[in-house]
């Protein structure tokens, strides 16, 4: 993790291609919505040691509970469950307020208001678009979600400096028949009740099993 010193730096990284490739066909005009969460990711300077855990489905942590919900949304093929994984409009506004107060976001008020308005109006259809992109990707890998078995979530979570909500990144490991897969690069932020999804990088096959 590293610290980016100014807003231009945030946008330079944002436009470098990594995040746009992650969201694939989602257009830049909507991607700007995610800048405030990327600011947290790229400016994390931990105030303590990060934690690493593996999944316990019987007594899940808040992080693990999110992992289970992500997997369930894919198993059900239900984009309404997927949308629920993301911050609500109210949660998004609260996170924006906290980041602004902590000086993590350093943008004019008019720019922040524009992002919030765009999020309110456009987030849900774009979340659904992302979900169906991942479903098609999984289908191309031969994943039948009815046969998929959840393995574990490996994750790190920490508090960014001067910000009172945890930030989490992790990977879900699962199997389908004799093959093994990973839902990779899960990023999420803590809200009042648990964690809400920011983004997922990829779904890929790990090995062909026995």
What average pLDDT score do residues 195-206 get?
96
> Which two structure tokens, joined as six digits, stand for 128?
């659904």
Identify the helix (H) or strand (E) that includes residue 14.
helix 7-14
Indicate if the pLDDT at residue 155 is higher than 90: yes
Nearest CA to 86 among 99, 73, 101, 97?
73
Indicate if the pLDDT at residue 40 is higher than 50: no
DSSP letter string, 181-198: EEEEEEEEEE-SSSEEEE
Higher pLDDT, 28 or 153: 153
Q: What are phi and psi of 21, to 5 degrees?
A: -65, -35
Lowest mean pLDDT among 136-140, 162-166, 199-203: 162-166
pLDDT (0 to 100) of residue 60: 84
Indicate if the pLDDT at residue 50 is higher than 60: no
Indicate if the pLDDT at residue 32 is higher than 70: no
Nearest CA to 138 among 148, 153, 151, 128?
148
Q: How confident is the model at residue 14 (pLDDT cuts 50, 70, 90)?
A: very low
Cα-Cα-Cα-Cα dihedral of 140, 146, 193, 84, to 10°?
60
pLDDT (0 to 100) of residue 54: 56
Indicate if the pLDDT at residue 201 is higher than 90: yes
pLDDT (0 to 100) of residue 53: 53
Q: How confident is the model at residue 171 (pLDDT cuts 50, 70, 90)?
A: very high
Q: What is the pLDDT of residues 106-138, one digit of tens each?
A: 888 888 899 899 999 999 999 999 999 999 999
Q: Where are the alpha helices (DSSP H) in 18-88?
A: 18-23, 28-31, 35-42, 62-76, 79-83
Chain-wide mean pLDDT for the chain?
Answer: 78
| Burial degree of 100 (CB within 10 A; 0-12, 13-18, 19+) | middle
pLDDT (0 to 100) of residue 85: 97
Indicate if the pLDDT at residue 23 is higher than 70: no
Q: What is the pLDDT of residues 72-93, one digit of tens each?
A: 999 999 999 999 999 999 999 9
Q: What are the domain boundaries of the chain?
A: 7-207
Return the top range by mean pLDDT from 63-67, 94-98, 163-167. Answer: 63-67
**Three-state DSSP class for 137?**
helix
Distance of CA 201 to the CA centre of its chain: 8
Q: How far apart are CA 91 and CA 89, in angstroms?
A: 6
**Three-state DSSP class for 51?**
strand
CA distances from 75 to 47, 55, 145 (A): 37, 18, 5
Q: How far apart are CA 159 and CA 132, in angstroms?
A: 31
What average pLDDT score do residues 134-151 get?
97
């Amino acid at each position: 993790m590293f610290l980016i010193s100014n807003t231009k730096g945030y946008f330079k990284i944002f436009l470098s291609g990594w995040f746009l490739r992650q969201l694939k066909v989602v257009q830049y005009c909507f991607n700007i919505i995610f800048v405030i969460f990327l600011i947290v990711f790229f400016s994390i300077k931990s105030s303590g040691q990060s934690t690493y855990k593996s999944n316990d489905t019987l007594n899940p942590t808040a992080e693990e509970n999110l992992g289970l919900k992500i997997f369930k949304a894919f198993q059900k093929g239900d984009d309404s469950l997927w949308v629920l994984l993301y911050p609500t409009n109210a949660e998004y506004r609260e996170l924006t307020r906290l980041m602004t107060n902590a000086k993590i976001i350093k943008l004019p008020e008019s720019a922040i208001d524009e992002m919030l308005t765009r999020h309110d109006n456009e987030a849900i259809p774009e979340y659904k678009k992302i979900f169906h992109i991942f479903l098609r990707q999984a289908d191309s890998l031969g994943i039948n979600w009815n046969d998929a078995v959840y393995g574990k979530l490996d994750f790190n979570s920490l508090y960014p400096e001067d910000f009172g909500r945890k930030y989490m990144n992790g990977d879900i490991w699962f199997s389908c028949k004799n093959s093994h897969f990973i839902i990779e690069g899960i990023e999420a932020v803590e809200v009042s009740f648990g964690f809400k999804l920011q983004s997922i990088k990829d779904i890929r096959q790990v090995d062909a099993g026995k």
